[in-house]
Amino acid sequence: MMERLTGAERQIALIICVVMAIVGLVMAAAGHGDPMGSHGAIVLIAAGITTFFVLRAIGEPEPAEDRTVDYYDDPTKAGLVIALFWAVVGMGMGVWVAAQLAWPDLRIDAAWSSFGRIRPVHTSGVIFGFGGNALIATSYHVMQRTSRARLAGHVSPWFVLLGFNLFCIIAASGYLMGVTQSKEYAEPEWYADIWLVIVWVVYFVLYIRTLARRNEPHIYVANWYYLAFILVVAILHIVNNLAVPASLTGAKSYSAFAGVQDAMTQWWYGHNAVAFFLTAGFLGMLYYFLPKRAERPIYSYRLSILSFWGIVFFYIWAGSHHLHYTALPQWVQTLGMTFSVMLLVPSWASAGNALMTLNGAWHKVRDDATLRFMMVAAVFYGLSTFEGSFMAVRAVNSLSHYTDWTVGHVHAGAMGWVALITFGSIYSVVPLLWKRETMYSWKLVEWHFWLALAGTVIYVFAMWNSGIIQGLMWRTYTDSGTLAYSFTDTLVAMHPYYVARACGGALFLTGAILAAYNVYMTIRHAPEKRPERDYPTSSEAVEPAVPAAE
């Protein structure tokens, strides 16, 4: 793929690789004996592999293609394949974590395999590895199409994609070594955080520069969602990760905030990671791929603008609902609760807009599993945002907080909404990007759909039951005013649901494996599609303006 870069671009890529290798070497040397040293070695290896691919192309002739006639889709393709790899890894870890809770012997007695270490590998693997790569890849696709402009740069999209994956690998390997700053969804330590800021700024600049080249007067709404995702995640990430390293040669750092301020900053970050990483970006996907697949424009474009600003300005205040009944001032808790309830309006506006777009095309939903993925994703989006608003109410939260109900809610969102819209988008975009007629097997898509839906429903119902039983047992008192149940009693009561949850997760994982196989076979074996479109031809173009007689 590096052959499509010009000579000058290959040189820039090589310089970046060499700088990375030096950074890795310094980290490995300075952090010797600390997990930071191992991370230095990982950076060095990653730089070495990338250097190999660049060097292999460096002597090749300049690319002959005319860059003005086509979109640049190589990074998108790579990103989608990487996202599917992370889906299998992240969801596989999830099934293992769930199975550990049901059958504790599966912990296999090593330090790295303990629940506290592999759980963040699951969460980060799915959210950042699978979700993040899918967002980056589809954003490259959408920004070019909606702007009718080629990506503004050929090295920077690769830098963002590969740099982000280096971050993911450093994060996941760090968790296994015990590196964490104990902030949910922000576990990686300071050097990984700094690296992500660099990658993210390049991503933002790339997006803005591509939009600046656009040939449409209006920026299509999907781009607004993707941009909100990039911009707000950058702000959240920088503020929440403000920390002082204990030493420049070690991984350990201390947060710049203390006590309840630290908790508030963390949940301002944490809930907006849900809002802007797991919602805004994927709404961008929804607003592009759902109308496209249904071959109908979005039901109400005006409503999509209203719900965009509603989501952006309400979500940012909602984080304090994670801290009900804590040392956080009561009015801040109430503020978070109120905004969470108000959020239902823009959230349902988006879900309703998606479903109304399909109104009149239900036969397509019936026949096309890819579109059905997106339809069910919109339904789960509506369900889980309703549930979220409900759980943010203080009285409900007193029952649900710290129980499996929260876990069920997160998975209704992550599996039912985020993963399904992503799989739907992948199935609709893969044949297009690799110029195939269809996916390799529509039956496998159909199998994947039902496995994913069954897995999600089993998972969510198991966690609702488990969480509510757990919450009720925790708050049941005897006549003499003591707690009626011990903690162990609650665990015994939850065990059957833990088994059911592991089974639901396994079904979902099976679906993801089918997706990875199907995409691989599509790339390798599906019949090629002859392009139907007219290629714009310039005087230098190789093709004749009038095709030769056949």
Partner 1 sequence: MDLTHDLTSVIAKSFGLFYLIALSVGITVYAYWPSLGKRFDKAANSILDDEDGPCR
CB of 304 to partner 1, least distance (A): 8
DSSP-assigned states of every residue in 95-149? HHHHHHHHSGGGGTT-STTSHHHHHHHHHHIIIIIIIIHHHHHHHHHHHHHHHTS
Q: Which is nearer to partner 1, 395 or 545 (CB)?
A: 545
Record the tokens describing residue 227, joined without a space: 């941009």
Contact 524, 81 (CB under 8 A): no
CB of 274 to partner 1, least distance (A): 21
12-36 b/e (C-beta count within 10 Å ≥ 16 → b): bbbebbeebbebbeebbeebeebbb
411 annotated to bind ligand: yes
Choose among 465, 443, 446: nearest CA to 454: 446
CB of 16 to partner 1, least distance (A): 26
Q: Which is nearer to partner 1, 305 or 483 (CB)?
A: 305
Distance CA 432, CA 288 (A): 14
Contact 384, 455 (CB under 8 A): no
Q: Which is nearer to partner 1, 108 or 541 (CB)?
A: 541
Distance CA 324, CA 264 (A): 11
CB of 187 to partner 1, least distance (A): 29
154 annotated to bind ligand: no
363 annotated to bind ligand: no
Contact 13, 5 (CB under 8 A): yes
Give 69's contacts (C-beta < 8 A, 6+ positions apart): 535, 536, 537, 538, 541
Cα dist. 269→196, 232, 243, 311, 489 in Å? 15, 10, 14, 15, 34
321 annotated to bind ligand: yes
495 annotated to bind ligand: no
Binding region for partner 1 (CB under 8 A): 68-71, 144-150, 213, 215-218, 220-222, 288, 291-292, 295-298, 301-303, 305-306, 309-310, 313, 329, 331, 335, 432, 533-536
Q: Which is nearer to partner 1, 403 or 428 (CB)?
A: 428
Q: Which is nearer to partner 1, 109 or 532 (CB)?
A: 532
Cα dist. 332→261, 321, 394 in Å? 12, 9, 12
CB of 54 to partner 1, least distance (A): 26
CB of 228 to partner 1, least distance (A): 14
Name residue 279's amino acid. Answer: T
Choose among 277, 285, 180, 279: nearest CA to 237: 277
Q: Which is nearer to partner 1, 216 or 489 (CB)?
A: 216
271 annotated to bind ligand: yes
Contact 170, 195 (CB under 8 A): yes
CB of 221 to partner 1, least distance (A): 7
Q: Which is nearer to partner 1, 57 or 221 (CB)?
A: 221
Q: Mark the binding-site residues for heme b, compressed into ranges.
A: 122, 409, 411
Q: Mark the binding-site residues, compressed into ranges.
A: 122, 271, 321-322, 409, 411
Q: Mark the binding-site residues for Cu cation, compressed into ranges.
A: 271, 321-322
